[in-house]
A = this chain, B = another copy of it.
C-alpha cells in the first residue's frame, strides 16, 4: 500500500471515467499498452489524499498488473466492470517537440462504447465526486444515481463540445466545479479573452471554474474572486498525458480530506493538484506518480509557495 499524505482523511471520493490502454509516442520514446484513461490518472492521484471509489469499464484483456496497481493504491474496484466480450478502450497518440500539441493516431472504444456507469449502492452517498472526461450523457447518468448532497467536479474534452454540446450545457448547472482546458473554454464560450471566458463559464452554471493552462498553470474563478497558480517548473517532460486528470483527482482528494470547498481551501487544493500533476508528466503513464510520490508532493507544494509569494 502507498503512503498517504499526512493530511489524508477517511472521507472517500468517487471517480467515474475511462480506464484505458494508451500507446504514446514522444520525440524521445514510445511506450505501448500502458495504463491510461481519465479515471486511472484521477484515482491514482486522489489516492494520496483520500480513499477512492473507481467506476469504469475495462475489457477481458486488461492486465492483472494494472489491477494490482490500483489495489496497491487502496482503490476500491467494486465499480470497475470487466467486460467478458470486449477489449479495453485503446488510444494511441503522438506528441511533437514542445509537447503543446498532441495528435490522435488511433481510438478504439471497445468495451467503453457501451459503457453505462452504474454506481454500487454504497457509492451513492459519496460526498466528493469527479466526473472524468466521459460523454455528458454518461455524466448526467452518474448524477441521477447519487442520493446525498455531493460536491461535483466535472471535466470535458473537445469531442463533447463538438457533438454533445446541448447535453454538456445542461450538465453545467448540475455541477459545482468545472475544470477545463483554456482552449476548450474558449471553444465553449466563443471568447478570445481568458478572463472573460472564465466568468462566462460560471454564468453557465458551475459556481466555480478552473481553467487549466498547461505550462502556464491554472486560473480559479470563484464567487470570492480570482486565483492564479503557475505550473510547477518542470524542465524534463516525458509524457504530458493525464496531467489534467491528475490535477482534478488530486484537487478532489484534497477537498475531501479537508471536508471543505471554500475559496481558501480551493486555492490550497490547486497547489496540491499542481504539484501532483507535475509528477505525472515526468514519466509515461502513472510510472512516477505510482512510486511513493507522497514526500515529493509535499516538497513541491512548498516550492510552489516560494515560487509565488512576494
Q: What residues make up the interface of A, taking CB atoms closer than 8 Å to B?
A: 97-99, 192-196, 199, 213, 215-217, 219, 225-230, 233-237, 264, 267-268, 270-271, 305-310
Contacts A213-B216, A216-B213, A230-B228 given; does A271 touch B310 at CB 8 Å: yes
> In the complex the two chains form, is B305's CB within 8 Å of A310's CB?
yes
Interface centre among A215, A219, A225, A230 (most CB of B within 10 A): A230
Q: Which residue of B lies closest to A214 (CB)?
A: B216
Chain B residues with CB under 8 A of A228: 217, 230, 233, 307-308
Some 12 contacts from A to B, beta carbons below 8 A apart, are: A193-B235, A193-B237, A194-B215, A195-B233, A195-B234, A213-B216, A217-B230, A228-B230, A264-B310, A267-B310, A305-B310, A308-B309
- In the assembled complex, the Cα of A307 lies from the Cα of B195 at a distance in Å of 13
Q: Which residue of B lies closest to A224 (CB)?
A: B306
Question: When A and B form their complex, which 6 residue pairs have the shortest distance between CB atoms, in order from nearest?
Answer: A228-B230, A267-B310, A216-B216, A98-B192, A195-B233, A195-B235
- The main secondary structure of chain A at its interface with chain B is mixed
> In the complex the two chains form, is A226's CB within 8 Å of B307's CB?
yes
Q: Which residue of B lies closest to A225 (CB)?
A: B306
Chain B residues with CB under 8 A of A307: 225-228
Q: Which residue of B lies closest to A269 (CB)?
A: B310
Chain B residues with CB under 8 A of A305: 310
Interface centre among A215, A225, A233 (most CB of B within 10 A): A233
- In the assembled complex, the Cα of A219 lies from the Cα of B219 at a distance in Å of 17
Contacts A217-B230, A228-B230, A230-B228 given; does A270 touch B237 at CB 8 Å: no
Chain B residues with CB under 8 A of A309: 308-309
> In the complex the two chains form, is B310's CB within 8 Å of A270's CB?
yes
Interface centre among A193, A229, A310 (most CB of B within 10 A): A310
Chain B residues with CB under 8 A of A196: 235
- In the assembled complex, the Cα of A127 lies from the Cα of B217 at a distance in Å of 36
Chain B residues with CB under 8 A of A97: 192
